[in-house]
A and B are shown apart, each in its own frame.
Chain A
Amino acid sequence: MKRLWKTIIVSALVLLTVFAVSGCGTTDENADTGGTTTLTFRIWDTAQKDGMEKIAQAYMEKNPNIKIEVQVTSWDEYWTKLEAGVTSGTAPDIFWMHPNEILEYADAGILADCSSIVDESHYSDNSINLASGSDGTLYGVPKDKDTVGLVYNKELFDAAGVSYPNADWTWDDLTAASEKIYDTTGKYGFMAYADEQLGYWNFVYQAGGYIVDTEAQKAGFEDEATKEALEFYINLQKNDWCPDQNYFAQTSPGDTFFSGNGAMFLEGDWNILSECENNPEMNGKWDVAVLPKCPNPVRGDGRASVSNGLCNATTADGKHKEEAMDFLEFLGSEEAQRIQGESGAAIPAYIGLEQTWVDVFKEKNYDIDVENFIEMFDYAVTSPIDKSRPSWKTAVNAQLLKIYSGSQTYEEGLQNMQDLVDQAMVGY
């Protein structure tokens, strides 16, 4: 009798273990019950979850046999997870792609060709470039586009008696205003920190320089214009009115700005809505202007704002590729892009729908001139894309920090940055 009990208990335990081990793989198999197909749609921005769900809702109403699940994964985990998913065949059906990564994914043959489902006439060249692989084929459906603007605190400007930034501002106005604000109010002026799209890239392109030249397989850190712009930008931290890199490693410019301790910083349009929502007491006390231009550019007219854009993509050999492609096509339609704009999630990539995003701010009574972001598309520069970028991004950033901390001279640092990128590009 005792023996029998033992056998029963042990068998139960063994069965439990087997279930526990195999349990991990079962969820996917059951996805197709009752004739409906469940598609997973993975994104990284919580602020855009509602917008994406509204689009999914609109699609599901037309396609009752499809169920779309929006999953949010934090940016830090997103790429680790996506890569693991792609490698092991468990990638989500539809997912956001970033220009930093798309070339590697596209060139490895992982992404499905989207050229047949996108009408390119509805998108700018920037948007198309950012969704294409090295071979020039579209591997994603353009989702949104962005620009960078100069955000400023009206109260600090008023207190210092400085007029607000406008379209005629140059770098000189930026530094003069910063100095005046610091002298009068004791608060920081323009907060220039080591960042790419929200930092020095804009200045480099305004001066007529460049970061990478993919044709020539070379970095642009030896270019005269790049050098001048970087020197100007890095030296901003030598002023009393700009916090140094030690400060920014602990406190973000945004936190400083919204606590009223800094007057200006560069911000991307994609952050503006959540900043309005998170700082209701600041409503009406801050605004956004177009970027100040370079007063004496080596090339060009001194205007630029670095523009990036995401796209939606799917894998080339996904289990539900047909359904995923159909949904992707919908994501690129005017209807879906309009929902995206109206939800305030991001500026639609679809040309002509920019105003839907602007109107959100008016509807919600946020007193901020976000049209300036749209205006800058006229001279927006495509964010530097290069396949080898993931491999040099951190190393270049480390060099930049060494220049900031003074442990390496400006010339040495720039030379190292040039060499790092050049070598990395050869390896790809």
Chain B
Amino acid sequence: MNSEAKWGYGLVAPTIIGLLILNIWPFIQTLILSFTNAKKFGSYDFVGLTNYVRMFQSTEFWQATWNSIYFCILTVPVGIILALLLAVFLNSKIKGKVVFRAIYFLPMVVAPVAVAMVWKWMFNSNYGIINDVLGLHIDWLTNPHLAIVSCAVVSIWSSVGYDAVLLLSGLQNVPKTLYEAADLDGATKIQQFFHVTLPMVSPTLFMVIIMRLMSSLKVYDIMYMMISESNPALLDTQSLMYLFYRESFVIGSKGYGSAIVVWTVVLIGIVTALQFWGQKKWVNYDV
């Protein structure tokens, strides 16, 4: 190894060591735990595939898996389209642009727990402001079909500003000359958006989609705050991570909880792999 390489390794070492200790090693431990009947106080026996067999036979588990996927379907497309529109809007020549950027970014700065708390009040079917304004009585949080949609609304609301800022940085890297050339060729604004803006911003867009998908599949905090243990819509709403939390920390079966986590990792892996395979068809890296 030459001395330059040594320096290189030395400089990345703190990050790599941190990653190994804080992320990789716990994951390996989780993997091991998923083959045990670990309960409390760290004692356990290996039980082979029992946890996985129990998991794949559990309707609650499949419901949670579907809930996680459904949550992605609800949040990702709408969230990304809104973020893109917002980014284009914030990139145009309007007054007070900086103020708007700050306002849309604000939800990202607020603690997710506080966000969920406030939305929970607004969604309250008896005393909440939403039903009050609409003059209706809708069970936003306790109707088994609606509760997950309500959670999705909160998730989109809190993430759209952050995604828009990321996309905005992508938009600002698009050279003005391209638009000038398109203008000369007689392209309309809409044509410009689809044939210039979208391809040019696609690498950023791809990154944002991946990140949003992962965080939607891992959703936990919003649901935990808005859907309590006594909510009749719990089983129709809880995500895999919520199920994992309840199994591991409320009920205390760490082994089974670990199996759920491993499954979630596999699920995210599959979705991400599909994304990377699909990106070849639409992401444009030639600038």
Chains A and B form a bound pair = yes
Does residue A80 face the partner (Cβ distance < 8 Å to B)?
A: yes
Does residue B46 face the partner (Cβ distance < 8 Å to A)?
A: no
Which partner residue on chain A sits nearest B224 by CB separation? A76
Known: A13-B14, A86-B41, A87-B41. A249 touches B252 (CB 8 A): no
Measured CB to CB, the closest approach of chain A to B145, in angstroms, equals: 13
Are A394 and B40 interface neighbours, CB within 8 A?
Answer: no
Which chain A residues lie closer than 8 Å to B125 at the CB level?
246-247, 250
Which of B74-82, B94-102, B227-235, B263-271 is the contact stretch? B227-235
- State the CA gap A398–B228 with chains docked (Å): 12
Are B250 and A394 interface neighbours, CB within 8 A?
Answer: yes
Measured CB to CB, the closest approach of chain A to B15, in angstroms, equals: 10
Known: A83-B40, A391-B251. A193 touches B230 (CB 8 A): yes
Report A376-428 residues with CB < 8 Å from chain B CB: 390-391, 393-395, 397-398, 401, 404-405
Report B222-277 residues with CB < 8 Å from chain A CB: 227-235, 246, 249-253
Residue of B42, B126, B141, B251 touching A394 (CB-CB under 8 A): B251
Known: A83-B41, A108-B40, A246-B139. A251 touches B126 (CB 8 A): yes
Does residue A104 face the partner (Cβ distance < 8 Å to B)?
A: yes
Measured CB to CB, the closest approach of chain B to A21, in angstroms, equals: 8
Which chain B residues lie closer than 8 Å to A248 at the CB level?
230
- State the CA gap A195–B253 with chains docked (Å): 23
- State the CA gap A137–B124 with chains docked (Å): 48
Does residue B120 face the partner (Cβ distance < 8 Å to A)?
A: yes
Are A110 and B232 interface neighbours, CB within 8 A?
Answer: no
Which partner residue on chain B sits nearest A16 by CB separation? B14
Which chain A residues lie closer than 8 Å to B42 at the CB level?
87
- State the CA gap A238–B228 with chains docked (Å): 22
Measured CB to CB, the closest approach of chain A to B109, in angstroms, equals: 23
Are A398 and B235 interface neighbours, CB within 8 A?
Answer: yes
Are B41 and A80 interface neighbours, CB within 8 A?
Answer: no
Does residue B10 face the partner (Cβ distance < 8 Å to A)?
A: yes
Measured CB to CB, the closest approach of chain A to B243, in angstroms, equals: 11
Which chain A residues lie closer than 8 Å to B251 at the CB level?
390-391, 393-395
Which chain A residues lie closer than 8 Å to B7 at the CB level?
10
Are B230 and A245 interface neighbours, CB within 8 A?
Answer: yes
Does residue A194 face the partner (Cβ distance < 8 Å to B)?
A: yes
Which chain B residues lie closer than 8 Å to A247 at the CB level?
125-126
- State the CA gap A86–B42 with chains docked (Å): 9
Are B14 and A104 interface neighbours, CB within 8 A?
Answer: no
Which chain A residues lie closer than 8 Å to B65 at the CB level?
none
Does residue A17 face the partner (Cβ distance < 8 Å to B)?
A: yes
- State the CA gap A243–B41 with chains docked (Å): 41
Are B232 and A391 interface neighbours, CB within 8 A?
Answer: no
Which chain B residues lie closer than 8 Å to A13 at the CB level?
14
As a 0/1 sequence over residues 286 to 316 of chain A, the CB contacts with chain B under 8 angstroms (1 = contact) are: 0000000000000000000000000000000
Are B141 and A249 interface neighbours, CB within 8 A?
Answer: yes
Which partner residue on chain A sits nearest B252 by CB separation? A390
Which chain B residues lie closer than 8 Å to A110 at the CB level?
41
Residue of A86, A250, A390, A395 touching B141 (CB-CB under 8 A): A250
Are A250 and B126 interface neighbours, CB within 8 A?
Answer: yes
Does residue B127 face the partner (Cβ distance < 8 Å to A)?
A: yes
As a 0/1 sequence over residues 36 to 52 of chain B, the CB contacts with chain A under 8 angstroms (1 = contact) are: 00001111000000000
- State the CA gap A302–B173 with chains docked (Å): 77
Are B40 and A249 interface neighbours, CB within 8 A?
Answer: no
Which partner residue on chain B sits nearest A193 by CB separation? B230
Measured CB to CB, the closest approach of chain B to A52, in angstroms, equals: 25
Which chain A residues lie closer than 8 Å to B250 at the CB level?
390, 394
Are B230 and A249 interface neighbours, CB within 8 A?
Answer: yes
Are A246 and B14 interface neighbours, CB within 8 A?
Answer: no
Residue of A17, A250, A391 touching B252 (CB-CB under 8 A): A391
Report A71-114 residues with CB < 8 Å from chain B CB: 79-80, 83, 86-87, 104, 108, 110
Which chain B residues lie closer than 8 Å to A195 at the CB level?
230
Does residue B142 face the partner (Cβ distance < 8 Å to A)?
A: yes
Measured CB to CB, the closest approach of chain B to A203, in angstroms, equals: 18
Which chain A residues lie closer than 8 Å to B233 at the CB level?
249
Are B229 and A246 interface neighbours, CB within 8 A?
Answer: no
Are A250 and B124 interface neighbours, CB within 8 A?
Answer: yes
As a 0/1 sequence over residues 361 to 388 of chain A, the CB contacts with chain B under 8 angstroms (1 = contact) are: 0000000000000000000000000000
- State the CA gap A110–B227 with chains docked (Å): 34
- State the CA gap A150–B235 with chains docked (Å): 32
Which partner residue on chain B sits nearest A20 by CB separation? B14
Residues of chain B at the chain A interface (Cβ within 8 Å): 7, 10-11, 14, 17, 40-43, 120, 123-128, 139, 141-143, 227-235, 246, 249-253
Having A87-B42, A250-B141, one finds 13 other A-B pairs with CB under 8 Å, namely A10-B10, A108-B41, A194-B230, A246-B139, A246-B142, A249-B232, A250-B120, A395-B251, A397-B229, A397-B230, A398-B235, A401-B232, A405-B232
**21 CB < 8 A contacts A-B:** A10-B11, A14-B14, A17-B17, A79-B249, A80-B249, A83-B41, A86-B41, A87-B41, A104-B40, A108-B40, A108-B41, A245-B142, A249-B232, A250-B125, A251-B127, A390-B250, A390-B251, A394-B250, A398-B235, A401-B230, A401-B232
Q: Which 5 A-B pairs have the closest CB atoms?
A: A246-B142, A249-B231, A87-B42, A405-B232, A17-B14
